[in-house]
Structure 1
Amino acid sequence: MVQTPLLIGFIVMSLASLAIYAKGAHHGPLRGHTLLHAAVPFIAATAYLAMYLGLGNLIKPDGTVTYVARYMDWTFTTPLLLAGVVSSAFLGARERDGQAGFVASIVTLDVVMIVTGLIASLAPYGTVKWVFFVWSCAAFAGVLYLMWKPLAALAAQHAPIGSAYRRNIGFLSLLWLIYPVVFAVGPEGLGLVSDALTVWVFLLLDVLAKVVYAFTSEGNLRSALVNRGA
């Protein structure tokens, strides 16, 4: 029964968005960062409501379901999370030029990753599906490279910020690496696990990546700014 986790997702994401917005209402150097993260579960709540109501749930000829609203959610929420990653890296950078370029490049790779993942889901089982799955993973590799190499180097220009940045992207990267694995073994891929189990796992990952990450990343950065004397 997939309705239960979808309804839980809507409720949890709605309440989380309100909680993060309330936290971001206070003035401070991370106010914008927190408000950015508050939008993420709000978008996710909208997607979970749509999936719960059956809107955009495409049943393919083989009987499996593609939840289009899930991919729409990721198309908006992951760029917001990455924009937060870029802005946090520049908190430690001595120079401020180039932030827009990093946002544009990493978001472009991210959107390609999501769109090709959707194509892989919609494609019939066979070579085409796995070609687009691999291409999606290649775009994801580009996202990880930017996070862990040039952006990490910028953040490391100030040790406390660099440390907080690495903790944040370590947590986020670990979670994001699980998503393609779930896709591959789930009904959209090899079909080794049920649709219901896949929905539950995606719900857990979404809560960790969009709610828990919002609070932990803000806490790590706040501590780093205190150490910097901000």
Structure 2
Amino acid sequence: MALGTIAFIAMGWGEEDEEMQEFYIITTFITAIAFSSYFSMATGFGLIEVSVSGVAEPLEIYWARYADWLFTTPLLLLDLALLAGADRNTIATLIGLDAAMIITGLVGAIATEGAASRIAWWGISTGFFVVLLYFLVSSLSGQAARQSGDVASTFSTLRNLVVVLWTAYPIVWIIGTESTLGIIGLTTETALFAVLDLAAKVGFGFILLRSRNVLEQATGAAQAAD
């Protein structure tokens, strides 16, 4: 995450167009926040133990992961929305659904009432996620389709990356230790989340920022609309 942050700073260094700067700033903060989160987890600060009714051993919960997601996932969606030339209502809807998804997921992770309660919260969080996907592939994709071919193509690639990777998160959660099912262990669960985070943040950033021409077309269309 730290290397991704440095790379994105270097890629945007010297950029003078304020509209294009937004993409570099947002994408850099995504990996910078994620780096801070992972550093806190690596040093033991971002970890708590939660005693759950009916479960013999306390669960180890990386709460810093949820703090990371609460800030970085809306920024990812904002990057997509700016690329698509989305209106404010669409952006507000996506970010609101995303925040509800993360917060209810966190409640599920720290709930102490028992496995059924935790899984119920997971279901609520997943429900918000499904609605978010609907807006992502309908409203936002429809607005992106009005962009130039290169911009629309890059948007489609990033949207598909988000859909595939983000769909894996609730799957890992439900089969991992936080749901109490424990089909996979804590080490495997943590590794899977780390790989997903790297792909969804650093991978996303490189795909978005790799073509200056695409960013110029996206910001040019936005300026023309204004």
Fold shared by both chains (TM-score > 0.5): yes
Counterparts of 1:110 and 1:79, CA distance in 2? 7
| Mapped pair 1:69 → 2:92 | no
| 1:228 CA displacement | 11
Q: Decide whether aligned partners of structure 1 residues 204 and 83 sit closer, same or farther in structure 2, where only a CA change above 3 A counts.
A: same
Structure 1 stretches of 4+ moved >4 Å? 223-230
Give the whole-Å Cα distance in 1 for the aligned partners of 2:220 and 2:71: 34
In structure 1, what is the equivalent of residue 105 of structure 2? 117
Q: SS in structure 2 opposite 1:110? A: helix
Counterpart among 182, 188, 196 of residue 197 in structure 1:
188
Q: Structure 1 195/228 Cα, relative in aligned 2: closer, same or farther at 3 Å?
A: closer
**Overall identity of the aligned pairs, in %:** 28
CA distance in structure 2 between the aligned counterparts of 1:77 and 1:121, rounded to whole angstroms: 19
Contact 2:111–2:118 at 8 Å: present in 1 too? Answer: yes
Cα separation, partners in 2 of 1:35 and 1:194, compared to 1, 3 Å: same
Structure 1: gaps (5+ residues): 1-12, 91-97
User: 1:3-40: per-residue Cα shift (whole Å, max 9, x none)?
Assistant: xxxxxxxxxx1121111011112325633212210111
Q: Does 1:50 align with 2:40?
A: yes
- Is residue 104 from structure 1 mapped to residue 98 from structure 2 by the alignment? no
Match of 1:214 among 202, 205, 215: 205
Alpha-carbon contact 2:104-2:122 (below 8 Å) kept: yes
Cα-Cα RMSD: 2.2
Other structure's SS at 1:86 match: helix
- Further displaced range: 161-170 or 123-132: 123-132
Q: Give the C-alpha shift of residue 126 in structure 1.
A: 2.7
Structure 2 distance, partners of 1:15, 1:187, is 30
Residue aligned with 1:30, SS: helix
Unaligned runs of 5+ in 2: 52-56, 222-226
Counterpart CA distance in 1 for 2:131 and 2:213 is 28
CA contact (8 A) 2:8 2:24 kept: yes
Secondary structure at 1:183's aligned position in 2? Answer: helix
Structure 1 residue aligned with 2:8: 20
Please tell me the residue identity of whatever aligns with 2:130.
A
Aligned partners of 1:38 and 1:224: how far apart in 2?
Answer: 15
Alignment length (residue pairs): 211
Question: Which secondary structure state, in structure 2, belongs to the residue aligned with residue 41 of structure 1?
Answer: helix
The residue that corresponds to 1:180 in the other structure is: 170
Q: Is the 8 A contact 2:105 2:121 kept in 1?
A: yes
1:86 equivalenced with 2:77 (yes/no): no
SS, match of residue 149 in structure 1: helix
Amino acid across the alignment from 1:109: L
Q: Which amino acid aligns with 1:173?
A: V
Q: Which residue of 2 aligns with 1:140?
A: 129
Deviations 1:107-163 (A, max 9, x none): 111011001111111124332112111110111112111111011111101351222
1:65-92 CA deviation, whole Å, 9 max, x = no partner? 11111100000000110111111110xx
Residue 81 of structure 2 aligns with an amino acid whose one-letter code is V
| CA distance 1:149–1:32, change in 2 (3 Å) | same
